[in-house]
Chain A
Amino acid sequence: MIVAEQKPLAEMKTLINGAENVLVVGCGTCVTVCFAGGTREADIVSTSLRMATKLDGSPQQVTHSTVQRQCEWEYLDIIEEQVKAADIVLSLGCGIGVQAIAEHFPDAWVVPGLNTSFLGLPTEHGVWEERCAACGECLLAVTGGICPVARCSKSLLNGPCGGSENGHCEIDPDVACAWQLIVDRMSSKGKLDALLEIQPPKNWQNSRDGGPRKIVRQDLRLVEFED
């Protein structure tokens, strides 16, 4: 899932400064399960902003609404009237949700209430860890299901580096060395030999280095009829 965390309330206050009517929009998908921008959080944020701006002496009207999925235009139609009535939309969706609102409602001014952090999973209650960097060319088959791109601090494809110590990465003793994990896993599967094969340089053009990415599936596209 996409993992995000809330910006501090003070920053949100700055972002909505000057607006009379503010609409906080939560999202019912990834940011709900990482407790950053679901219905409950949208409620708490809008209530907190109402109280905080009231205490500051310049009370702002803050309402909230949560859509099932902020990152698809069709899920946004339901809040059209509320968006129109608002001077500022404070999105509690990930960066994609914020942009989806801005694209779908070109007249709206939308600001982010979250910092979108990474693609990851919860490893225990209240803890999320990065697992994938969306590199565009998955090589988990080579590394036993452990991602060196997202989880090795240097994104080494042929590791470990000399900084690996007792299973920890040299950047921080609290960070597991991804390559130690990879070696351990390959050993446990009796496939350690496979790591002797040197991985060639990765084609980073499929990642961010090739510019903004786009996937087109002709089989799914709808035919446009001409009159």
Chain B
Amino acid sequence: MEGDCHYLEGNLNARRRVEYVQNLLEEIGLDGRRIRMFNISSAMGAQFAGYASELAATIREVGPNPLRDYQAYLAEQQEAVASGMV
């Protein structure tokens, strides 16, 4: 649970980093809702299922990653680099 972490304050630090990544995704134009952090313990099966459904619903709303073909795109770029363009 929040602040009650095996690594002491680790999950509080992690939360800030998740917020950083959310902002970065927003800046890039990828929708920051694609990443979220939930705090649950191993004994909270029902909550886990609830959060999973919540996240699934959000992701359906946000839609597929528009850069899904990014790997192919990167390969294209690397080819361009290799061919001496960059």
> B66 in the interface, Cβ–Cβ < 8 Å?
yes
Contact A54 B85 (CB under 8 A): no
> B46 in the interface, Cβ–Cβ < 8 Å?
no
Contact of A50 among B66, B77, B81, B85 (CB under 8 A): B77
> A61 in the interface, Cβ–Cβ < 8 Å?
yes
Contact B27 A9 (CB under 8 A): yes
> B44 in the interface, Cβ–Cβ < 8 Å?
no
B15 → chain A closest CB, angstroms: 14
Contact A8 B86 (CB under 8 A): no
Give the residues from 28 to 82 in chain A that come closer than 8 angstroms, CB to CB, to chain B.
Answer: 44, 48, 50-52, 54-56, 59, 61, 63, 82
Contact A54 B67 (CB under 8 A): yes
A63 to B82, CA, bound (A): 12
Main secondary structure of the interface of B (DSSP, over half): helix
Provide the residues of chain B in CB contact with A52, threshold 8 Å. 27-29
Provide the residues of chain B in CB contact with A56, threshold 8 Å. 29
Provide the residues of chain B in CB contact with A61, threshold 8 Å. 77, 80-81, 85-86
Main secondary structure of the interface of A (DSSP, over half): helix
A52 to B30, CA, bound (A): 8
Provide the residues of chain B in CB contact with A44, threshold 8 Å. 24
Give the residues from 27 to 59 in chain B that come closer than 8 angstroms, CB to CB, to chain A.
Answer: 27-30
> A85 in the interface, Cβ–Cβ < 8 Å?
yes
A85 to B67, CA, bound (A): 26
A21 to B81, CA, bound (A): 10
Contact A51 B30 (CB under 8 A): yes
A59 to B28, CA, bound (A): 13
B85 → chain A closest CB, angstroms: 7
> B70 in the interface, Cβ–Cβ < 8 Å?
yes
Provide the residues of chain B in CB contact with A85, threshold 8 Å. 84-86
A48 to B67, CA, bound (A): 12
A86 to B80, CA, bound (A): 13
Contact A63 B27 (CB under 8 A): no
Provide the residues of chain A in CB contact with B28, threshold 8 Å. 9, 48, 51-52, 55
Can you name the residue of chain B whose Cβ is closest to the Cβ of A60?
B77
Contact A86 B86 (CB under 8 A): yes
B86 → chain A closest CB, angstroms: 5
> A223 in the interface, Cβ–Cβ < 8 Å?
no
B21 → chain A closest CB, angstroms: 10
